[in-house]
Structure 1
Amino acid sequence: MDSQKIVIAFPFTGGELGGSHISAAGLICGLDRDKFRPIIILHKNGLILEEYLKKLGLPFTLAPNVSILSADSELGFAASVANGVRLVRTTAKLVPFLRRHRVDIVHTNDGRMHATWALAARMSGAKLLWHHRGDPMARGVNIMAPLLANHIVTVSHFVRPAKPIVPVTHKITVLHSPFDHPSDLPDRDACRRKFVEELGLRPDTRFVGYVGGLIERKRPVKFVEAVHAFLQHHPDFPLAGLLFGTNAANGPDLDGAVKSRAKELGISDRIHLMGFRTPIAPCMGALDALLVTAVNEPFGRTLIEAMLLKTPVVATNHGGNPEAIDDGQTGYLVKPECPEAFVGPLERLLFDGRQWETISSTALENARARYGNKAHVEGISRLYETLVPRQSPAMHGQLVSRH
């Protein structure tokens, strides 16, 4: 019976497509439709997320025309008052929307959706599942979530709220993000040749890569400096660095910063901005190593995606990275903010084929064992059923017959 299904709302802005959206879409695709009815809500249509959802065959509905709020802005008094007014007006529109769609749970997945939908969820009578993938010091997860969320899910132990305003240990769960396991591994030599030809490089060029949005936390400029550090030791080695990603909407021009730093270091011909590419497998397949230069990374999707595609990872020993990498076994962990620290692991991977094979094969086996959609979907589904218990159809029939 449709009335027995738990209705879950998934609100998104619509203008961005990142790891949180991919993870949420994977969850939505995997939910048991006999138990759950997901409703995807977009504030803006005709943008990148709508295109992605259509490829997956996932329908969506448009949100009411409301202000999209921010949970972590540092506001002055006047701006705080204005933000409070927007919150009241936004909530007043979202509450009847949620009631009209008979939403049982609002599952928010990023800071702006937390801020925009949290109060409305609770006032509508729905439960709020706050999925946190960001800074453990963020104001939202330390103030709003402890007060409003019925349950908090974090993608790693690192991003658990660091200073919650009230205790949250009774309502917090750590669940790593879900990952599809590729059925086939890419032809690495073919992938490498494709980019060699596209960029007009010498045939024996080897690639290291940066994959992700060009945002400050991910330190794309440090990636450039890591490539430079390696070339300082091996100036004649045919190494090129590929950056797959674009600037964040309304964010700083890190694309320009990458170009500028490469020019300063005299390696403009070794650094290539590739833009956003999908699917990612051919890109990962071209890389001899993925370099994760980020700090405060909650639990980067690209790190696990690389492992599942048998691409070795060298990552900073910071944020959620140590939860995914066993140093020297499934990848390498290096000192953060230190480009020179990447040189040693890169030498081992680029100059020792047996070491490359050992690290990449061990990482692949480990990632297949630890990260999958099934475990994530089952874990979230259990939380949904705990938040909104439903009687079995047989029991429901008995209750109806008694009245």
Structure 2
Amino acid sequence: MIAFFSIAPFLSGSERCLQLILLESKSDGMQPVLVTSRNSPLKKWAQDNGISHFSVELNPIKVNSKTRWLYEQVKLTIFLSKKGVKVIHSNQIWSYRAALLPAKLLRAKLICHFRDPIDSGARWWLPRIPDLSIFVSSYIQKQFCSNFEISSNNNLVKMLDPVKRPQKKSFNERETTKKVARANFHLDPNSLVLGFIGQISPVKGLLTAIDVVSRLKRNDWTLLVVGNDPSPDQQYLKKCIREVDKKQISERVLFLGFRDDISSVYEAVDMIIMFSTEEPLGLIPLEAGGFYKPSIVSNVGGLPETVNFGQSGWIIDPVEYYEAVTIIENIKEEDLAEKGYKARLFTESINDPKEYWKSLGKV
């Protein structure tokens, strides 16, 4: 029996991946256990999908006394013991410390999935190396090995996060779906539609994307911006909107905010542009590939691992990002179709929840 720990109070890419892994484990005949912080939206999701769930404080920093933390740990250990848990999987490093005492008392194996940048500060969260360390990218694995002493006994594996993919479709089916999606967004069925999907924050590079599209000489493009600014004052979003107005492209750049129907966005666009300045991996190009859409990404962090350069998309220099203008200017419809098909094949080859589930058998 495996218990999965998730500390995040919101649904992000990490939690979407965990959902796929949990569903895959169920389809494989397992009965996984999900442990979350009390304010996690995963609680309702677990109930809706018949997954055993337990809420408890997973962050020791938020507990104001050692006695209170010990009380939370004892409750958690009793629950895991009753479920017969033999393996504890921390979905991120931030919930790993909450797994240490229960694992020791239950003699359970420990797994940690490293999804975030790792520096010397990670040592506090990781007082002992897990029995199995899973890295979201080679980039994160290298950071880990630079900050921790690794022996031949340490079990390390790179597994790109799984993403949900729609059923395979023929070219004609994809074109029909695209026309319907564009009609819902009131888009020109024959225009070039670019997509920016993600958190609207400086690290995601939306201002760079706006600068790139403003330099396009072709006049048949639209940029869909999907996501929220997580800051209380929304200053970065406001800055992006002012920049769009300044460059007089407000009719072509559509700010859609957060969308539950993200599949419709992928179906409507021709390609994704992602000019982040830092990314442990970057799920958006992988998700786009599932919808037969290529991506242009900056060569930072783990992003290059999500694109088969020249085949399923393009990787550009984060400083000399103007080369993206040339790529977009010269792209043809047949090129998009070919690269979109290869993006789907590439995503399928490197990204599968079944493979992730198999890797857990290494502990």
Please say whether Structure 1 and Structure 2 have the same fold, judged by a TM-score greater than 0.5: yes
Aligned residue for 2:37?
43
**Distance in 2, Cα, partners of 1:139 & 1:314:** 32
Q: CA separation of 1:214/1:110 partners in 2, compared to 1, >3 Å: closer, same or farther?
A: farther
| Counterpart among 246, 249, 264 of residue 267 in structure 1 | 249
Residue-pair matches, total: 353
Partner in structure 2 of residue 257 of structure 1 = 239
User: What whole-Å deviation, never above 9, does each CA across 1:52-86 have from its counterpart, x for those lacking one?
Assistant: 4455x14343423x37356xxxxxxxxxxxx7955
Quote the residue 1:12 is aligned against: 6
Q: 1:264 to 1:87 in 2, by over 3 A?
A: farther
In terms of mean alpha carbon deviation, does 33-42 or 366-375 score higher?
33-42
1:346 partner letter: I
Whether the 8 Å contact between 1:189 and 1:286 is mirrored in structure 2 is no
Distance in 1 (alpha carbons) for counterparts of 2:326 and 2:30: 49
The alpha carbon displacement at 1:312 in A equals: 1.2
Which secondary structure does the structure 1 equivalent of 2:222 belong to? strand
1:348–1:355 contact (8 Å) kept in structure 2: no
Q: What is the aligned partner in structure 1 of residue 195 from structure 2?
A: 209
Deviations 1:271-325 (A, max 9, x none): 2222232343321111111011123322222211211211111111121122232
Letter of the 2:25 counterpart: L
- TM-score, length of structure 1 as denominator length: 0.76
Q: Where in structure 2 are the equivalents of 1:384-403 lying within 5 Å?
A: 386=363
Q: Is 1:167 aligned to 2:159, yes or no?
A: no
2:353 match: 373
Residues 114, 268 of structure 1: CA spacing in aligned structure 2 closer, same or farther, 3 A cutoff?
Answer: farther
Structure 1: stretches of 5+ with no match in the other structure: 1-5, 71-82, 387-403
Cα distance in 1 between the residues matched to 2:359 and 2:227: 31
1:191 to 173, 178, 187: 178
Q: Is the 8 A contact 1:229 1:339 kept in 2?
A: no
Tell me the SS of whatever aligns to 1:99. helix
Question: Displacement of 1:332 after TM fit?
Answer: 0.5
Within the alignment, does 1:130 sit opposite 2:117 as a pair?
Answer: no
Q: Is the 1:293–1:337 contact (alpha carbons within 8 Å) kept by the matching residues of 2?
A: no
**Alpha carbons 2:272, 2:295 under 8 Å: kept:** yes
Q: Which residue of the partner structure matches residue 292 of structure 1?
A: 274
- Structure 2 CA distance, aligned partners of 1:317 and 1:146? 32
Aligned to 1:101: 80
Matched, 1:221 2:221: no
The one-letter amino acid paired with 1:18 is S
Deviations 1:128-165 (A, max 9, x none): 2110111133732x553362533211011111115324
CA gap of 1:155–1:165, structure 2 versus 1, over 3 A, is closer
Stretch moving more, 259-268 or 289-298: 259-268
CA distance in 1 between counterparts of 2:182 and 2:300 reads 31
Provide the residue aligned with 2:53 in structure 1.
61
- The CA deviation at 1:248 is 3.4
Which of 1 and 2 has greater Rg?
1
SS at match of 2:96: helix
Q: Does 1:346 align with 2:338?
A: no
| Aligned AA (2:336) | W
- In 1, Cα distance between the equivalents of 2:343 and 2:150? 36
Tell me, in whole angstroms, the C-alpha distance in 1 between the residues paired with 2:31 and 2:233: 35
Q: Determine what percentage of the aligned residue pairs are the same residue.
A: 18
Counterpart in 2 of 1:89? Answer: 68
Note the C-alpha offset of 1:266: 2.7
Partners of 2:43 and 2:191 in 1: CA distance: 37
Give the secondary structure class of the aligned counterpart of 2:238: helix
Equivalent residue for 1:282? 264
TM-score by structure 2 length? 0.84
Q: Is the 8 A contact 1:307 1:364 kept in 2?
A: yes
Structure 2: how far apart are the matches of 1:87 and 1:154?
Answer: 31
CA distance in 2, matches of 1:372, 1:301: 13
Shift of 1:33: 7.5
Alpha-carbon shift at residue 193 of structure 1 (Å):
5.5
Alpha-carbon distance between aligned partners in 2 of 1:84 and 1:14, rounded to the nearest angstrom: 16
Q: 1:344 to 1:192 in 2, by over 3 A?
A: farther
Q: Which moved more, 1:284-293 or 1:264-273?
A: 264-273
2:313 is aligned with 1:313: no
Give the counterpart of 1:28 among 22, 31, 42: 22
Structure 2: 5+ residue stretches without partners: none
* CA shift for structure 1 position 190: 4.7
| 2:93 and 2:125 in contact (8 A); partners too | no
Matching residue's letter, 1:16: F
